[in-house]
Structure 1
Amino acid sequence: MTTVRYIDCTALMDTLLGAHPEQRAAMDVFVGDPDPARLADLVRDASIVINGHTSMDAALLAAAPRLRSIIFLGSGPGSYIDLDAAERAGIAVHRIVNYGDRAIAEHSFALLLASARGVATMDREVRAGVWSPAEGMELGGKTLGVIGLGGIGREMVRIASGFGMKVLAWSRSGVDPELPCEAASLDALLARCDAVSLHLALTPETRGFLGGERLARMKPSALLVNTARGALVDEPALLDALHAGRIRHAALDVFDAEPLPAGHPFTSLPNVTLTSHAAYKTREATERLLAAALAILDDERRRLAGAL
């Protein structure tokens, strides 16, 4: 018998599962992120785990002898699952990519607009009874640098180009000549662009990718958007640059530590716009994510049934 447990299910995903009654009935669903004791109980006798965004360390995996497959609902399972431990235990870890490309790119551009016009600052001030119209920056005709051209970066290029921006792009694998952008070296991109948007995967090679030296190459008037992974940016170096006015504004959806700790320095800086790792969260993206997850689940059920 294949026991399927879905952990850290969101309320929206639980609602959408209602359109798939047979598959919903064949799994145990835990809405929310379980505490460690409950998580251990849920995983202990599971064959397949669908994991929203719950951490699964080596000890947890070692205590789940029947577990053969984890379907991670996102593109970066390594941030939540001990992949080396899973491999040693013979547990296949599946990730889902591209389901949120448009959603994340739209959120990235929304952050770019918000930072260019000081939307978050004015919102806070008006709520506090302060009427202080801010002078913003038009994006039409400005130059956006897109770092990383996976599915999200490619969508960001298209959106920005359609908005009337000139786009420079850099990617380790090269720039598709069909995209409406100009290929540039990383140094040239940082030096020339009025705004920079990060869209790299987090790997050992890209951790701290945007450090103090690279941040110093950006214009003092530049905007920085990061909806990829917090650890791509050297956080202390970014804080120093923002404090010193060497970067005009940072718009961030991702952080080294999440949730962002209370009292974090970012929360007290007026030239920072913050969102809560929500770039991928749209109903449309969630529907695509669920469809992909259920397709993998069906494949894994067949695979495990054939192995019995």
Structure 2
Amino acid sequence: MHGVFVDANESLAVIFERLEKSGDPKVRINRNPDITPDQYPKLLDGAAIAIVDHTALPTEVAKKCTGLKHVVFLGTGARSYMNPEELDELGIAVHLIKGYGDTAVAECAIALMWEAARGIARMDREMRAGNWLREDAMQLTGKTLGLIGFGGIAAEVARIASGSGMRVIAWNRSPKKHPKVEFVDLDELLTESDVVSIHLLLNDETRGLVSRACIEAMKPGMILVNTARGAIVDEAAMIDALKSGQIRHAGLDVFNVEPLPADHPLTKLPNVTLSAHSAFRTPEASENLIGAAWAHCRRIAKGSK
């Protein structure tokens, strides 16, 4: 049994090579992160395992990948790139990696929250253009942070925010308990929170969950942070709320279309801070990620014997 890392950037490729052990299944690394889905059949060339960072794998393309039995997806958001149920019907199992970047993503969410509160990125842009922009910021100490969804990342966000003097409340689809976090229903979270940060997986139940009605129910002048998946939020409603001031500022690491087109409406709004789906990209998280990918490959190879 052998595999192919189909879309490795150089930093992940180097870690992948370094973590290889004697006796590991043979995995060829394609050092090109910008492949297109139609390249899968040729790249895999009969391989049983595909390690995928971010390249979409449509079901129709997967049907052409003779020999493919396992997809090791580098993260938890595989549904943004493929349909696991349809692949399963083809005999292709999709393996996810959880928890590898909880701290990295949480720190990014906190950074976006603080930037949204202070407006530093906008001041930087204006000063480079020769404008001395000064506006009142939002002081976050004593404010309420509402977490929509509560897993490992949200727990890390809660830890950091609590330590900075914020009240933390959360809503989760299943009951949870966590120190220094008050769990409330979604309606209460929307009306009570000065900052709302989203921490849900994308699936049929969460797609569009933060709807226009939800956004209209939020506290006027609040901050919205999304490091989860863009499709969880009604994008058109969010843009309208940013224009009206219902949302003071949005800090976004994820989008409906990625890469975000240069002419996208979000790029034209001054009260949005954009980052390129990079919340999880730290050396520590990458090390955890690739270590877990190798663990999947070893387990798969062992089970195939």
Q: CA shift at 1:137, angstroms?
A: 1.3
Q: Distance in 2 between matches of 1:203 and 1:298?
A: 28
Q: CA shift at 1:225, angstroms?
A: 0.4
Q: Distance in 1 between matches of 2:83 and 2:212?
A: 30
- Segments of 5+ residues of structure 1 without an aligned counterpart are none
Q: CA shift at 1:36, angstroms?
A: 4.3
Q: Distance in 2 between matches of 1:106 and 1:94?
A: 26
1:132-143 → structure 2 map (5 Å cutoff): 132-143=133-144
Question: How high is the sequence identity, in percent, across the aligned residues?
Answer: 44
1:232-247 → structure 2 map (5 Å cutoff): 232-247=232-247
Report what 2:256 is aligned to.
256
Q: CA-to-partner distance for each residue in 1:50-81, whole Å, 9 max, x for gaps?
A: 11111111222111221111111110112112
Report what 1:196 is aligned to.
196
1:155-174 → structure 2 map (5 Å cutoff): 155-174=156-175
Is residue 16 from structure 1 mapped to residue 21 from structure 2 by the alignment?
A: no
Cα pair 2:7 2:55 within 8 Å, conserved = yes
The TM-score normalised by the length of structure 1 is 0.94
Q: Distance in 1 between matches of 2:148 and 2:25?
A: 43
Report what 2:97 is aligned to.
96
Q: Distance in 1 between matches of 2:16 and 2:172?
A: 37
The CA RMSD measured in Å over matched residues stands at 1.5
Q: Distance in 2 between matches of 1:279 and 1:143?
A: 22
Q: CA-to-partner distance for each residue in 1:152-209, whole Å, 9 max, x for gaps?
A: 1111111110111011111111231x32111212111111111110111111111111
Q: CA shift at 1:25, angstroms?
A: 8.8
Report what 1:219 is aligned to.
219
Report what 2:81 is aligned to.
80
- Size of the aligned set, in residue pairs, is 303
Q: CA-to-partner distance for each residue in 1:83-121, whole Å, 9 max, x for gaps?
A: 233112211110001111111110000000000000110
Q: Distance in 1 between matches of 2:111 and 2:259?
A: 21
Report what 2:208 is aligned to.
208
Q: Distance in 2 between matches of 1:48 and 1:21?
A: 16
Q: CA shift at 1:22, angstroms?
A: 4.3
Report what 1:60 is aligned to.
61
* Larger RCO: 1 or 2 (CA < 8 Å, sep 6+): 2
The TM-score normalised by the length of structure 2 is 0.95
Q: Distance in 2 between matches of 1:210 and 1:264?
A: 20
Q: CA shift at 1:43, angstroms?
A: 2.2
Report what 1:295 is aligned to.
295
Cα pair 2:147 2:197 within 8 Å, conserved = yes
